[in-house]
């Protein structure tokens, strides 16, 4: 695009045009990015949906992409964050109330996501490509407003653990899989749709949940218990039920703790306060105390970590999806700005150094999307295919670690592309920036995840085979990639003993996986730039340091053309 084809061209400043009350547009300001389709403008995603057998959901995905690009849905995101949730611990008579009240725009976001079955699609659709379809819907949604995806993700993920307790699951299944968003604070029996959350972290320990002190006492010989203790972080406390960990005589166990007891009374789930946290402002994260709260054990007593880990693995997938989503939105905002803003006589997108920055951000976003789609594919096939199961085990940790580490730096660089306007709350950028670091602390922080990579490699040798098979899929395509893969493959056998180097290994595995995917599914220009810069050392420490013989025009066209 040339300067002359811009929608708003610079005008000489006259007293009349400087007057904001006149009808003249202010020169050289960028039009809002609205009225576009988040899905159809993303070639990587549209190709992935087709390739991965999720085309049956294409119409729905395109419709959500259209809705999320509209000014109305964008406004919901802003309003839900400008109007923080409010906790009411007690009513005016001093009775406990324990309710959090949200802005109507939060409910619009939730209603849209539930209606699109982001909280349950793979459990209900049970057809190939369902995880990829849902991952795509989630990635689009996270671009508009990520805060509300927390309860959506936890509901989706909790099902994976709750199935360990078939009778209990059968009781709740219909309401969990419902596409009706029912935000009323009422007993589940009275509701047409419910949401689920999770409580693991306590004051004295989050990563090391074995240190949990919350206790569970069995009621007679049933599978029902009374829980006493606390949780230090409970996000989305208005969910209808939570999977929590508590100690019982056989050890740490997983429990299903609803906000209302089966007899229709409020459960002893007391919200102490909301966290004044960094990150989104739309969602509530709380501190909770349980005073002999009714709960039902899930899975085998004493094996709570093994039971809840299925939920955790699915939320880790969602962290990777959200990371890819935030990077994509940051990239799109930066490219849009650069296409419309002029400095030093040229559009920013025509300034050589800006082109380097944008192309570098584009390949990072592309590699993130491909890795998250590959992971979702593994979730789709892991029950029927042993190798995909092993790949899923290891790649969940690798992708979660790496995409969550890349998101904050990527978003921060994109923010700068917008100049001062990017730092103003009326733009979406500050929201993306605040959100970006959250995903690395959730569901296993950086170190914990890298140690999990080592654990998987040692305890499940099939994970090594799965990685090697994945690398083989791109063998011979690029000598630099072949050499890189060979060097890491050599480290896999001895990796487990080297905790000190766990981050280094995980990062390199992630880059190798991404490079293989870029070679297979991206454009030659993108794959070349990724391998030269990320694998072959032709890159600095910051974005915008691609070597000079890259096909930047081709890289940028793949982002700009579908947006135009
Ligand atoms: C906004 C927000 C919402 C949250 N929502 C929820 C929720 O809904 N439910 C819930 O259960 N939790 C929730 N959490 C808590 C989160 O999961 C924990 O904060 C996280 O698991 C880390 O636990 P911790 O805070 O106790 O840190 P710690 O466990 O004390 O860890 C501190 C640091 O030490 C590192 N570390 C730990 N062990 C090792 C090791 N062996 N070797 C090297 N380094 C190590 C960690 O990586 C981390 O960087 C939320 C947190 C935030 C910020």
Given ligand 1 and candidates 237, 238, 276, 442, which is best to mutate, with the most ligand atoms within 8 Å of its CB?
442
Closest ligand 1 atom to Cα of 441: 20
In the block, residue with structure tokens 């594919």 = 377
**For residue 444, how far is its CA from the centre of ligand 1 (angstroms)?**
6
**For residue 423, how far is its CA from the centre of ligand 1 (angstroms)?**
29
Question: For each successive 10 residues of the chain (564 residues), what is the average pLDDT?
Answer: 36 44 79 97 98 97 98 98 98 97 98 98 92 98 98 98 97 97 97 98 95 97 97 98 98 98 97 96 98 98 97 98 98 98 98 98 98 98 96 98 98 98 96 97 96 95 97 98 96 86 97 98 98 97 97 96 88
Closest ligand 1 atom to Cα of 234: 8
Q: Residue 291: CB partners within 8 Å, gap ≥ 6?
A: 228, 268, 270
Give the SS3 label for residue 89.
strand
Q: List all residues whose CB is within 6 A of at least one atom of ligand 1.
A: 197-201, 205-208, 233-235, 277, 279, 285, 438, 441-442, 445-448, 451
Give pLDDT, residue 7. 37
Gap between the Cα atoms of 30 and 419, Å rounded:
11
CB 354 within 8 A of CB 340: no
Q: What is the largest CA-CA distance in the chain?
A: 84
**For residue 227, how far is its CA from the centre of ligand 1 (angstroms)?**
22
**For residue 254, how far is its CA from the centre of ligand 1 (angstroms)?**
18
**For residue 207, how far is its CA from the centre of ligand 1 (angstroms)?**
5
**Whose alpha carbon is nearest atom 42 of ligand 1?**
447
CA dihedral (249, 236, 423, 362) in degrees, to 10, reads 80
**For residue 448, how far is its CA from the centre of ligand 1 (angstroms)?**
9
**For residue 403, how far is its CA from the centre of ligand 1 (angstroms)?**
18
Task: Compute CA 322 distance to the chain's CA centroid, rounded to the nearest angstrom.
Answer: 2
**DSSP result, 461-507:** THHHHHHHHHHHTTTTS-HHHHHHHHHHHHHHTTGGG-GGGHHHHHH
pLDDT in tens, 517-559: 999 999 999 999 999 999 999 999 999 999 999 999 999 999 9
* C-beta pairs of 471-479 under 8 Å, 24+ apart in sequence: 471/512, 471/513, 471/516, 473/516, 473/520, 474/515, 474/516, 474/517, 474/519, 474/520, 477/519, 477/520, 478/515, 478/519, 478/527, 478/531
Give pLDDT, residue 22. 54
List residues bridging with 230 in a β-sheet: 289
CB 118 within 8 A of CB 138: yes
In the block, residue with structure tokens 């098979």 = 469
**Whose alpha carbon is nearest atom 48 of ligand 1?**
445
Give pLDDT, residue 169. 98
**For residue 446, how far is its CA from the centre of ligand 1 (angstroms)?**
9
Closest ligand 1 atom to Cα of 277: 1
Closest ligand 1 atom to Cα of 448: 47
Burial of 384 per CB tally in 10 Å (0-12, 13-18, 19+): exposed
Q: What angle do CA 484, 478, 561 make, to 5 degrees?
A: 115
Given ligand 1 and candidates 201, 454, 501, which is best to mutate, with the most ligand atoms within 8 Å of its CB?
201
**Whose alpha carbon is nearest atom 35 of ligand 1?**
447
**Whose alpha carbon is nearest atom 16 of ligand 1?**
442
> What is the token pair recorded at 192?
């047409």
**For residue 450, how far is its CA from the centre of ligand 1 (angstroms)?**
14
Closest ligand 1 atom to Cα of 202: 26
Q: Residue 497: CB partners within 8 Å, gap ≥ 6?
A: none
Q: Within a 13 Å sphere around the CA of 440, how many CA atoms are in the beta-carbon half?
A: 15
List residues bridging with 225 in a β-sheet: 218, 295
Closest ligand 1 atom to Cα of 205: 26
**Whose alpha carbon is nearest atom 29 of ligand 1?**
207
**For residue 200, how far is its CA from the centre of ligand 1 (angstroms)?**
10
**For residue 451, how far is its CA from the centre of ligand 1 (angstroms)?**
14
**How many angstroms separate the Cα of 311 from the Cα of each of 91, 244, 322?**
34, 11, 17
Task: Compute CA 162 distance to the chain's CA centroid, rounded to the nearest angstrom.
Answer: 22
Give pLDDT, residue 497. 82
**For residue 288, how far is its CA from the centre of ligand 1 (angstroms)?**
17
pTM: 0.95
pLDDT in tens, 440-467: 999 999 999 999 999 999 999 999 999 9
Gap between the Cα atoms of 378 and 389, Å rounded:
7
Given ligand 1 and candidates 161, 207, 231, 506, which is best to mutate, with the most ligand atoms within 8 Å of its CB?
207
**For residue 542, how far is its CA from the centre of ligand 1 (angstroms)?**
28
Gap between the Cα atoms of 241 and 203, Å rounded:
21
């Amino acid at each position: 695009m040339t300067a002359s084809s811009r929608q708003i061209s610079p005008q000489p400043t006259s007293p009349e045009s400087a007057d904001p009350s006149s009808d003249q547009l202010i020169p050289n300001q960028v039009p809002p990015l609205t009225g576009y389709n988040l899905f159809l403008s993303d070639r990587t995603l549209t190709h992935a949906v087709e390739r991965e057998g999720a085309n049956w959901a294409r119409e729905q995905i395109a419709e959500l992409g259209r809705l999320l690009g509209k000014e109305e849905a964008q406004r919901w995101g802003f309003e839900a964050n400008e109007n923080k949730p409010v906790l009411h611990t007690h009513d005016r008579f001093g009775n406990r109330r324990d309710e959090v009240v949200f802005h109507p725009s939060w409910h619009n976001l939730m209603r849209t996501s539930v209606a699109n079955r982001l909280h349950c699609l793979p459990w209900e659709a049970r057809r190939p490509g369902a995880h990829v379809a849902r991952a795509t819907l989630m990635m689009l949604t996270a671009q508009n407003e990520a805060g509300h995806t927390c309860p959506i993700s936890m509901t989706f993920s909790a099902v994976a653990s709750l199935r360990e307790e078939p009778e209990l699951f059968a009781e709740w299944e219909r309401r969990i899989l419902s596409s009706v968003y029912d935000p009323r604070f009422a007993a589940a029996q009275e509701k047409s749709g419910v949401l689920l959350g999770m409580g693991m972290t306590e004051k004295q320990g989050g990563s090391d949940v074995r240190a949990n002190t919350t206790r569970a006492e069995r009621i007679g010989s049933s599978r029902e218990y009374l829980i006493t203790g606390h949780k230090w972080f409970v996000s989305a406390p208005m969910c209808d039920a939570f999977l929590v960990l508590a100690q019982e005589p056989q050890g740490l166990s997983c429990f299903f703790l609803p906000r209302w007891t089966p007899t229709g009374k409020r459960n002893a789930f007391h919200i102490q306060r909301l966290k004044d946290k960094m990150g989104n402002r739309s969602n509530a994260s709380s501190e909770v105390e349980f005073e002999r709260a009714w709960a039902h054990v899930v899975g085998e007593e004493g094996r709570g970590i093994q039971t809840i880990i299925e939920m955790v693995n699915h939320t880790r997938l969602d962290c990777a999806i959200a990371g890819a989503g935030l990077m994509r939105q940051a990239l799109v905002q930066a490219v849009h700005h650069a296409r419309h803003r002029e400095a030093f006589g040229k559009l920013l997108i025509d300034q050589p150094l800006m082109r380097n920055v944008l192309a570098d951000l584009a390949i990072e976003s592309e590699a993130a999307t491909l890795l998250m789609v590959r992971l979702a594919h593994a979730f789709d096939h892991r029950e029927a295919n042993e190798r995909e199961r092993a790949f899923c085990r290891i790649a969940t940790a690798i992708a979660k670690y790496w995409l969550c580490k890349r998101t904050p730096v990527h978003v921060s660089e994109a923010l700068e592309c917008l100049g001062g306007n990017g730092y103003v709350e009326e733009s979406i950028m500050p929201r993306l920036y605040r959100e970006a670091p959250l995903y690395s602390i959730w569901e296993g922080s950086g170190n914990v995840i890298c140690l999990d990579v080592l654990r998987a490699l040692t305890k499940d040798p099939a994970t090594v085979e799965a990685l090697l098979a994945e690398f083989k899929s791109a063998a011979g395509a690029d000598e630099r990639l072949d050499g890189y893969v060979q060097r890491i493959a050599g480290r896999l056998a001895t990796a487990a003993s080297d905790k000190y180097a766990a981050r280094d290994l995980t990062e390199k595995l992630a880059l190798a996986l991404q490079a293989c995917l870029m070679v297979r599914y991206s454009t030659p220009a993108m794959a070349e730039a990724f391998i030269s810069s990320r694998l072959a050392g032709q890159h600095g420490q910051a974005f915008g340091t691609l070597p000079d013989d890259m096909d930047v025009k081709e890289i940028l066209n793949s982002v700009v053309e579908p947006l135009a």
